[in-house]
Structure 1
C-alpha cells in the first residue's frame, strides 16, 4: 500500500504541472471535441512509458545491485530540484500561461460564422506529438519514476500501478471535468497553487527516499 500511494503521489506530482500537453487536454475538454480520444491517448501513453521505466530499470537493478542506491540518491536529488523549481513558479508566477481559445478557427457559411471542428485523426496525432515528442516526458516518466520505483524493490510493481492510476485519473478529470474547472484553471493564481502543492509533494517524496 505504501508503494502504491507513493507511486500515485509521484505520478500526479509530475503530471499536474501546466504544460503543452495539459493545456491541450483542457482545451479539448472545454470545446468538447474528441475528449475521450485525447484522454485515452495521453493516459495510455503514460501507462506505456511508466511500464518501460519500471521494467527496464528493474532488470538493470537485478544485474547491477548497487544501482538501487544510485537510483535512490539520484531520484532524491531530482525530486528536490523539481520541488524547488515548482515552488519558485508558485512564488513568482513564472509558469506558462494557459490559452484555451488561441487556435479557434471560424469559416463563414450561408452568412453564419461556424467553428471548424478538427478531425479525430488530427486531434489524435496532436495528442501523440505533444506526448511522445516532448523530451521531458522521458526524463520524468521513464527515468525518474523508473528510478524511484527501483528503490521499492519487489514492490516496484505496485509503485508503477499507483503512478499509472495517477495518470489515468488526472487526464480523465482534466478532460471530462474541463467544463467545470475551465474558469478556475484559466486563472494564473490557480496554477501557482498547483505548483505549490506539487513542490510540497516532491519534497515529501524526496524525504521518503532519504529515509528508506
Structure 2
C-alpha cells in the first residue's frame, strides 16, 4: 500500500484505482501481484474492453516493469522518472479543472471520466471534438446541427459521458441543453447515470465551461 500511495499521489486517482481494483477482484479470476495491477492501471485506467470476451482468468503479469525500474533506481541512487498515469492532455486538463472548481459531485464525475476511455480512445475523442468544433462553428444556426459527442464506456455499469459544444451565441441556453441531453440519455437509453460536459468553441482553452452529473 505505501508504494501504491506513492505512485498514485493524486487522491482522485488513488480512490478510483481502489474502486475499480475491487471490482476486478470480484468479477474476474486474477493472477498477478498488486504492482502488476498498478502498472495496468497506469497504462489503461482499467478500461479493458477485452475483459468482456468471456475470459475466466486474467493475467496482467509484467505490467509492473516501469514501477520496478523506478524503485530499483531510487534504491541505487539513480534518478528515474516516477511512472504516471497515461492520460491525454484533454482528460488531464478536465481532471485538473474538476479539482480546482469542485462542482457538485466532482469526485464521482472524475471517476466516470476515468472509466470511459483508455488512452487510445481518449486520443480519438480529442480528434473527434476538434472536428465537432469546426462543424458547430459552421452550422450552429441550423437548429438540428451536430453538437454532441457521446462516449460509451466499456461497461454498462459505468456512466455515459457526453461532450456538448456550443457557440457564444448559445451561451444563455447551454445549461438547459445540458439538462435535456442528460435527461434524454437517462430515459431513452435506460442509463443509470450520465455526465455532460459543456465546452464553448470560442473558449477552447478551458476544458469545459460547466459539467452536469445526472443519475436515475
* Same fold by TM-score greater than 0.5: no
Give the structure, 1 or 2, with the largest relative contact order (CA under 8 Å, sep 6 or more): 1
Larger fraction in helix: 1
- TM-score bucket (shorter structure): under 0.3
Question: Normalising by the residue count of structure 2, what TM-score does the alignment of the two structures yield?
Answer: 0.24
Question: Normalising by the residue count of structure 1, what TM-score does the alignment of the two structures yield?
Answer: 0.25
